[in-house]
Amino acid sequence: MVVERARGESLSMSGSLQSLCWGSSAFGGIVSSYFSGSLVDSHGVRFVFGVTALLPLLISAVAVLVEEKRVCVPLNEPSLPSAGLGFLETSKQHILSLWTAVRQPNVYLPTLFIFLWQATPQSDSAMFFFTTNKLGFTPEFLGRVKLVTSIASLVGVALYNGFLKKVALRKIFLIMSIIGSALGMTQVFLITGLNREFGISDEWFSIGDSLIITVLGQASFMPVLVLAARICPEGMEATLFATLMSIFNGGSLVGGLVGAALTHLFGITKDRFDNLTTLVILCNLSSLLPLPLLGLLPEESSDLSSKESSDVEMKTI
């Protein structure tokens, strides 16, 4: 739905719909995140799981308000499924159409870069066990951190929408990757306790660190979402966009698995953190490895004009 509506946006409004959607998601996180920790402390895990299982039912109530118009496809259109075909034939047509779209250079080259960008190793799980087992952060405090990161996501969306929409994708990724890698090194302060020597408690340092890193991460991921929406051809927006997002999430999964392998290799467990500093440094430096492949991204910004967007769609089809 977002892809279909984003296609009609003007140059000045390009990316605004994606910003609105992800900003709304961040706002929802602000509303719920703090209580996710405090309710665990006061009512237990089972109660929280029950609440979170019921809340998504609200989507069903909202869904009835959505109006969807059927797309009329000409019978002689070779690249899209035709009316009157059986399930197997229609599925085959969908797969062929998806393959035709994905194999276009303006689709698979940016997708390949984002996959590699997401697939760099991560130390999040090791840091989670360090903060909970070593530093003693409670679920209630982790809820506060989640609240801060939700606010930071909203700030990141606003940063992109206000200042970065017209900046070239390559420049955004270059600058954000370098700054993000440098700021990620600040986790070493938390591990070694250096922050306490500067008079900053572990809690405040963790909140500030999460705030800054989340702002940069959200601001750098917004152009990915806008670009993915722009390159989806008409008639198969949901299929291709879901495929692109699955590939990006698959990159994150690979990064988590590589990070888990490195965690095991360094002998880090939920109670032993001797080599955690080395792991954090290695993971942050590895985030710079995809930068030589920035040429896979289009030179222009994600803020494409309607004509440029139309040209991309026609080439993709």
The confidence score (pLDDT) of residue 15 equals 67
Q: How far apart are CA 210 and CA 215, in angstroms?
A: 9
The confidence score (pLDDT) of residue 100 equals 79
pLDDT in tens, 129-165: 999 988 888 887 888 888 888 888 888 888 888 888 7
In a domain, 230, yes or no: yes
Q: In this structure, what DSSP letter does residue 73 have?
A: -
Q: How far apart are CA 275 and CA 269, in angstroms?
A: 10
Q: What is the DSSP string of 102-143?
A: HTSHHHHHHHHHHHHHHTS---HHHHHHIIIIIS---HHHHH
Res. 312: pLDDT tops 50? no
pLDDT in tens, 118-127: 899 999 889 9
In a domain, 77, yes or no: no
Res. 52: pLDDT tops 60? yes
- Rounded to the nearest integer, the mean pLDDT of the chain is 80
Band (pLDDT 50/70/90 cuts) for residue 7 is low
Q: In this structure, what DSSP letter does residue 86 have?
A: -
Single pTM value for the model: 0.74
pLDDT in tens, 202-237: 999 988 888 888 888 888 878 777 777 777 767 677
In a domain, 262, yes or no: yes
The confidence score (pLDDT) of residue 316 equals 39
What is the total residue count of the chain?
Answer: 317
Can you tell me which residue has the tokens 């360090």? 130
Which range of residues forms the domain containing residue 123?
2-68+91-316
Q: How far apart are CA 54 and CA 191, in angstroms?
A: 38
In a domain, 84, yes or no: no
Band (pLDDT 50/70/90 cuts) for residue 79 is very low
In a domain, 96, yes or no: yes
Res. 36: pLDDT tops 80? no
In a domain, 254, yes or no: yes
CATH of the domain at 249: 1.20.1250.20
pLDDT in tens, 245-278: 898 899 999 999 999 999 999 999 888 899 999 9
In a domain, 83, yes or no: no
Residue 109 CA to its chain's centroid (Å): 18
| Tokens (6 digits) for 261 | 């392998």
Q: Hey, what's the torsion of the CAs at 224, 124, 257, 259, to 10 degrees?
A: 110
The confidence score (pLDDT) of residue 13 equals 57
Lowest mean pLDDT among 8-12, 38-42, 44-48: 8-12
Nearest to 218 by CA among 154, 171, 263: 154
The confidence score (pLDDT) of residue 85 equals 59
Residue 275 belongs to what H/E stretch? none
Phi and psi based region of residue 267 (left: phi greater than 0; alpha: psi -120 to 50; beta: remaining): left
In a domain, 180, yes or no: yes
The confidence score (pLDDT) of residue 212 equals 86
Most confident of 31-45, 77-91, 293-307: 31-45
Q: In this structure, what DSSP letter does residue 301 have?
A: B
The confidence score (pLDDT) of residue 14 equals 54
- Which distant-in-sequence residues (6+ apart) come within 8 Å of 68 by Cβ? 1
Mean pLDDT in residue range 172-188: 89
* SS3 per residue for 251-267: HHHHHHHHHHHHHHHCC
Phi, psi of 67 (to 5 degrees): -100, 125
- Which distant-in-sequence residues (6+ apart) come within 8 Å of 182 by Cβ? none
Q: Could you tell me which residue, 54 or 268, shows the higher pLDDT?
A: 268
The confidence score (pLDDT) of residue 281 equals 95
Contact 228, 245 (CB under 8 A): yes
Query: Which SS3 state, helix, strand or coil, does residue 246 take?
Result: helix
- Which distant-in-sequence residues (6+ apart) come within 8 Å of 140 by Cβ? 37, 38, 40, 41
How many domains in the chain? 1
Q: Could you tell me which residue, 58 or 132, shows the higher pLDDT?
A: 132
The confidence score (pLDDT) of residue 305 equals 42
